[in-house]
Amino acid sequence: MEKIIINGGNPLKGTITVSGAKNAVLPIMAASLLAEGPCRLMDIPRLADVTTMSEVLGFLGGRIVPEGPQEMEIDCSEITSVEAPYEYVRRMRASFLVMGPLLARVGRARMSLPGGCAIGTRPIDLHLKGFAALGASISIGHGSIEATAPELVGARVYLDFPSVGATENIMMAAALAKGVTVIENAAEEPEIVDLANFLCSMGARVMGAGTKIIKIEGVKHMRGVTHGVIPDRIEAGTYMVMAAATGGDVLVDNVITDHLKPVVAKLAEAGVQVKEEGSGIRVRSSRPLCAVDIKTLPYPGFPTDMQAQTMALMTGAQGTSVVTETVFENRFMHVNELKRMGASIIIEGHSAVVKGVPRLTGAKVKATDLRAGAALVVAGLMADGETEIAAVQHIDRGYENMVQKLQAVGADITREERDGEECRLCD
């Protein structure tokens, strides 16, 4: 079993270049199903989730040709299957994002039910509500969902919660529908804007992406195009937190600073020096930091995908911080692991009360999901002694070459085969 081994205490110094955004590339790859010709995607991160989405598209009949380390061509001119099997949906919930484009392109899509995952039940009712509003018939049975629609017709869809995935799936379905679709209370995440830009360059008519109301005027055909994916704001935020946690001085390069405003604001409040520099953000800190409260919210609020890493940072701050999770129901799996390293954390409902301690100590811990894994790396970099992180496959889902990127800025971190119990992928 591969594990990440960290000997903590080294301040990070140097430059880390951020890769393309996982949460942008996955819906964009799914949207390639809408095009009648090949799409060329650039700035693609090499991640396990990107491999899974390539496999899903290949299963549906797509032809995926990697072109260089960060590029790929996806040709979904011929769709030969309308079903995403359990094997893929179990491995990655975002497989569900092929449902909207499949419905729009061939009038039928069947998906295995994603089921629960480590961070909560994560239903898909809002995706289905959107498809039904556009005229699809939905049937659920034998562990799968089928949607059929000889013709999708534009409609008004109000989302009870600004779900990122539902907004994306409905946008993609509506792109080839007849007439106008309006999504109200839509998600405003930057990844939604990147998807909208991709769709528009393919010939779709999408207006208002990045606001709460998105209007899509359906078109008859969409063409293959070339598109570069935006940088990953969560990867950037994670390295900013790691720089702050180690009292380092790091230029986190290739970022869109606007996307990082909530993270920058909280780091500055904690006493970290954060400064825009060229195409990057320089983070300098000298410990100890001050405790700050965090409440996760849909964009432009503080991202739930940065909650675990920021909580790890707060375990070493001076004072007590309250970290409140409002987006997912069960996103505190990292708390028990952080406590194994000496953190003082009490969970009270949707909040975690974190009392800063002078030092964490290295321990054997396990990544329970992607961002929980990143939080353990933050803790390991701060801790005295050796931290051994198991189940690193979770980290591979969302961080390209994390170990190499951290080694290059002075971290004592390696990946090694060591004995230990198997952990199944659960998200």
Q: Which stretch binds ligand UD1 (CB under 6 A): 161-169, 170-178, 313-321, 374-382?
A: 161-169
The two counts, helices (H) then strands (E), for the chain are 14, 24
Query: How far from each other are the two terminal CA atoms of the chain, in whole angstroms?
Result: 19
Beta strand pairing status for 144-148 and 108-112? antiparallel
23 lies in the binding site for ligand UD1 (CB under 6 A) = yes
- Minimum Å gap between C-beta 94 and ligand UD1 is 4
x/- map, 180-219, ligand UD1, by CB under 6 A: -------x---x----------------------------
CB of 164 to ligand UD1, least distance (A): 4
Question: Minimum distance from CB of 36 to ligand UD1 (Å)?
Answer: 25
- Residue 229 within binding range of ligand UD1, rule CB under 6 A: no
Tell me the residue type at 75. D
Q: Which of residues 353-412 bind ligand UD1 (CB under 6 A)?
A: none
Identify the helix (H) or strand (E) that includes residue 388. Answer: strand 386-390
Q: How far is the CB of 312 from ligand UD1 (least distance, A)?
A: 17
Given its phi and psi angles, is residue 271 left (phi above 0), alpha (psi -120 to 50 degrees) or beta?
Answer: left
Nearer of residues 28 and 360 to ligand UD1, judged by Cβ: 28
Q: How many CA atoms lie within 13 A of 377 on its CB side?
A: 32
Does 120 interact with ligand UD1 (rule: CB under 6 A)? yes
Residue with smaller CB distance to ligand UD1, 125 or 276 = 125
29 sits near ligand UD1 (criterion: CB under 6 A): no
**Would the CA dihedral through 305, 160, 172, 205 be positive or negative?**
negative
**Binding residue (CB under 6 A) for ligand UD1 from 66, 123, 179, 301:** 123
Q: Are strands 320-324 and 294-295 parallel, antiparallel or unpaired?
A: parallel
Beta partners for residue 213, in sequence order: 184
HSE, side-chain direction, 13 A CA sphere, residue 157: 34
CB of 32 to ligand UD1, least distance (A): 16
Positions marked catalytic: 117
- 328 binds ligand UD1 per the rule CB under 6 A: yes
CA–CA separation, 398 vs 48, rounded Å?
7
Q: Is 91 in the site for ligand UD1 (CB under 6 A)?
A: no
Which of 67, 151, 161, 265 binds ligand UD1 (CB under 6 A)? It is 161
| Cα distance between residue 242 and residue 13, in whole Å | 11
Q: Which two tokens stand for residue 188?
A: 């405003």
304 belongs to the binding site for ligand UD1 (CB under 6 A): yes
Minimal distance, residue 275 CB to ligand UD1, in Å:
27
Is the preceding omega at residue 288 within 30 degrees of 0, hence cis? Answer: yes
Q: Which residues sit at the interface with ligand UD1, rule CB under 6 A? A: 23, 26, 93-94, 120, 122-127, 161, 163-166, 187, 191, 304-305, 327-328
